[in-house]
Structure 1
Amino acid sequence: MRNFVPVLTVVGVIFALWYGAAIWLNAAWAYDKAKRADVTLSASELVADTWAQDKPKLPAPHQVAVEIWETTVQKKITSKRSLIYHSWITLSATLLGFALGTGLGVLLAVGIVYNRVMDRSVMPWIITSQTIPILALAPMIIVVLNAVGISGLLPKAMISMYLSFFPVVVGMVKGLRSPEVMQLDQMRTWNASPSQMFWRLRLPSSMPFLFASLKVGIAASLVGAIVGELPTGAVAGLGARLLAGSYYGQTIQIWSALIMAAALAAVLVAIVGLVQRVMLRRMGMA
């Protein structure tokens, strides 16, 4: 129970600040309505109004919770108003992009570690690629792929791959180079081939680094999938919910989509962490 006290304290402070900010940001509209109605608001009436507006500048936590409840539990998962439906659309692009990014990242890392030319030529370009804002790059990727007849899931997955492969490359390169010189010399004294050194020393040593990178990569992949939905005017996905909410001033809808995205990212990172514990335990590293 003691372990939960700090967490609950932080959560309590966040909710207190959130409710306070809702009063502060929504008070102007409440006072404006009261002025037009020629009434005076008491403190309790002000609080009640700012926490119950239909289109607040900042919705109160309970308003977001009600919206999530109504769009998950009270809606069929096939409904276009269901957050579960939209989450699945975004999740499918996330997982495909994450798989592509992980595969590309691992292949590039192996090439960089074993090929000096790739280390000196490819690695700087990989680093440079991450300086390009994804919001500027995403429309270009979508337009180019649409020009060659590729649309739907794959363009969003490509954007997810672009964001997720970088941490995998960096972590995997660090992991493959983590064995000490003494360990490498010991393998050479056993006349181990390069492939044996890779599979029995370098790859096992890289696993902790790889999984740490995968946790970052899966979260970045989700961000890429959401960003990929924004310039396309998508009608499905969490990005589409954000767009629709911004078009019509539905801030509660926007916040519910954001909270759903955060929860989805937390679940994905937790799954990667679970796989990490299982894998490292079987390898005798945990």
Structure 2
Amino acid sequence: MKRFYPVLTVLGAAIVLWYAAAVWMNGAWARDQAARAGVTLSTTAFVAETWTQDRPVLPAPHQVMTELWQTVAMKPVTSKRSLVYHGWITLSSTLLGFAIGTGLGILLAVGIVHNRAMDMSVMPWAIASQTIPILAIAPMIIVVLNSVGIQGLVPKAIISAYLSFFPVVVGMVKGLRSPDTMQLDLMKTYNASGAQSFLALRLPSSMPYFFTSLKIGIAAALVGAIIAELPTGAVRGLGARLLSGSYYGQTLQIWAALFTAAILAASLVAIVGMIQRRTLKRMGMQG
């Protein structure tokens, strides 16, 4: 239990600061409404008013939790007001994009490690691709794909793949190059072929790096899926909930969608971490 004390301490401090910030940011509206009504609010009433507004500038923590409960637990999962429904839409494109990005990243990494021409040509382009703002390129990808009749899940998955492939490339290249010269020379003394050296030495050595990059990649894939929903006028997905909330000034809706995305990202990273521990344990790399 003691190991959770630091986490709980930080969490408690964050909640206290959040409530204090809500009083500060929502105070102007409370004072204005009191002035219009010709009443003077006591300190207790003023604080209570800043924590209970329908459209606050900064919702209080309990307001966000209430909105989450109502849109996650109290709505049917098929309802378009359910965050479970919208979360599943975003998760679908996230997982497809993550699979595409991971596969592409592994192939590029293997090529870069084993082919100097690819190392000199592909790697700089892979790095340069990440300098392009995703908010600029996402609408172009969606418009181009729509013009050839590709709509729905696939365009969002491609944008997710665009963000997730780079961490996998970098992690796999680092992992495949992690065996030292002595280990590689030992494989040569065994007269091992390039494929045998790859399967017996390079690939197992890359696994810790690979899973670390997957944790980054799957979080990036979720970000890509949400961003892909913003410029398309989508009506489904967490990005659509964020967009509609911003249009109509529904800050509670925005914060609930943000928390859902954060919980979803943490869950995906935790699943990858669980697979990592089991895989490395079976390979004898982790106790």
TM-score (norm 1): 1.00
| Counterparts of 1:115 and 1:73, CA distance in 2 | 53
Q: Secondary structure at the match of 1:36?
A: helix
Residue 11 of structure 1 deviates from its aligned partner by: 0.2
Residue 5 of structure 1 deviates from its aligned partner by: 0.6
| Counterparts of 2:188 and 2:277, CA distance in 1 | 31
Task: Specify the code of the residue in structure 2 equivalent to 1:81.
Answer: R
2:160 paired with 1:160: yes
Q: Which residue of 2 aligns with 1:104?
A: 104
| Counterparts of 1:141 and 1:21, CA distance in 2 | 39
Q: Which residue of 2 aligns with 1:229?
A: 229
2:191 paired with 1:191: yes
Q: Which residue of 2 aligns with 1:170?
A: 170
Residue 111 of structure 1 deviates from its aligned partner by: 0.3
| Counterparts of 2:278 and 2:148, CA distance in 1 | 42
Aligned residues between the structures: 286
Identical amino acids, percent of aligned pairs: 72
Residue 15 of structure 1 deviates from its aligned partner by: 0.2
Task: Specify the code of the residue in structure 2 equivalent to 1:175.
Answer: G
Q: Secondary structure at the match of 1:175?
A: helix
TM-score (norm 2): 0.99
CA displacement 1:114-169 (0-9 Å, x = unmatched): 00000001100000000000000100100110011101000000000000000000
Q: Secondary structure at the match of 2:2?
A: coil
| Counterparts of 1:233 and 1:63, CA distance in 2 | 27
| Counterparts of 1:144 and 1:73, CA distance in 2 | 38
| Counterparts of 1:232 and 1:207, CA distance in 2 | 37
**Could you list the runs of 4 or more consecutive aligned residues of structure 1 that deviate by over 4 angstroms after TM superposition?**
none
| Counterparts of 1:261 and 1:62, CA distance in 2 | 18
CA displacement 1:72-129 (0-9 Å, x = unmatched): 1111000000000000000000000000000000000000000000000110000000
| Counterparts of 2:200 and 2:228, CA distance in 1 | 39
CA displacement 1:164-191 (0-9 Å, x = unmatched): 0000000000000000100000000000
Task: Specify the code of the residue in structure 2 equivalent to 1:259.
Answer: F
Q: Which residue of 2 aligns with 1:10?
A: 10
2:269 paired with 1:273: no
Q: Secondary structure at the match of 1:149?
A: coil
CA displacement 1:185-212 (0-9 Å, x = unmatched): 0000000010000111000000000000
| Counterparts of 1:268 and 1:46, CA distance in 2 | 41
Task: Specify the code of the residue in structure 2 equivalent to 1:253.
Answer: Q
Q: Which residue of 1 aligns with 2:245?
A: 245
Task: Specify the code of the residue in structure 2 equivalent to 1:255.
Answer: W
Residue 35 of structure 1 deviates from its aligned partner by: 0.4
| Counterparts of 2:188 and 2:282, CA distance in 1 | 26
| Counterparts of 2:268 and 2:76, CA distance in 1 | 23
The aligned runs of 1:113-128 (5 Å cut-off) are: 113-128=113-128
| Counterparts of 2:102 and 2:200, CA distance in 1 | 21
| Counterparts of 1:163 and 1:142, CA distance in 2 | 15
Q: Which residue of 2 aligns with 1:202?
A: 202
Residue 22 of structure 1 deviates from its aligned partner by: 0.4
Q: RMSD value over aligned CA atoms?
A: 0.4
| Counterparts of 1:73 and 1:164, CA distance in 2 | 31
Q: Which residue of 2 aligns with 1:142?
A: 142
Task: Specify the code of the residue in structure 2 equivalent to 1:76.
Answer: P
